[in-house]
Homo-oligomer: A and B are copies of this chain.
Amino acid sequence: MHSNKRLVYLYKISLFYMALQKITKEEIIRIGIDLFRKQGYNRTSMNDLALACGLQKGSFYHYFSSKEALMSAILDTLYQYYRNKIFSLAYDQTKTPAERMEIFFKKQEPVFTQELTGCLFGNITLETISMEEEFKSVIQAFFSDWIDAFKQIFLDDGNSDDQALILARQSVMEIEGALMLMRVFADAALLRNACDLVLKKLKQAS
C-alpha cells in the first residue's frame, strides 16, 4: 500500500540521525571495572580497554576523554551503586540487624568472589590513592558510607554509638583484609568465613 510504503520510508528517515553505536558508556564502565579489578589501573592500557570493548584505541575517546575520566566515571558509578543498592540495605528498619547484614553479604559475596578478583575499591585504593585527589575523595566517601551503614546495623543491634562505630570499622577492615587474603591464596572461603565472623559480632545473630 502506498501509505505503508511511505510509512516505512519516513521511519527510515526518522532513524536517520540516530547513528548506531557499538557499545554504550555503561557497558564500557562495566568492562573497565572488570579489567581494572583484575589487572590494576596502571597495568591496564587504553588499548586493552578499547580492544575489550571491540573498539580501536582512538574510538575509545568518543566515550571517555581520558583514562582518568574513565576511572572517575567508574568510581562514581560504583559508589552510587553501593550507596543506593547495598549500603541502603542497612537502614531498612523492617528487618532485623542480622537479616540486613545477611542480605548485605548475600549481595556482595558473588560480586567479590567472582574470579577471585575482589572489590575494585579495595584493589585499586592502594595503587591510586596518591595519584588523583578526585579518586581519593570518592574512595573516602565509599569507605565512609560503608562504615556508616555497618554502624547503623550495630546501633540497631543495641550497641552504643561509640561501640557501633568501633564494630563497624572493625568489620570493614576484616572484610577488606579478607579480600586481600582471598586474592593472595586464591581461596574464596577466606572471604566467606570472614563474613560469618562479622555476622557473629551481632548480639542477636541468627
Contacts and interface: CB of A to CB of B under 8 A. Distances in A.
Interface of A: 3-4, 6-7, 10-11, 13-14, 16-18, 38-40, 42-43, 118, 122-127, 129-131, 136, 139-140, 143, 166, 169-170, 172-178, 180-181, 183-185, 190, 193-194, 197
Copies of this subunit? 4
A16 B59 CA distance: 13
Contact of A125 (B4, B43, B183): B183
Contacts of A130: 38-40
B181 A176 contact: yes
A10 B14 contact: yes
Interface centre among A16, A174, A183, A190 (most CB of B within 10 A): A174
6 contacts: A7-B10, A122-B180, A140-B185, A169-B190, A173-B173, A176-B180
Dominant SS at the A interface? helix
Contacts of A14: 10, 13-14
B181 A143 contact: yes
A181 B39 CA distance: 22
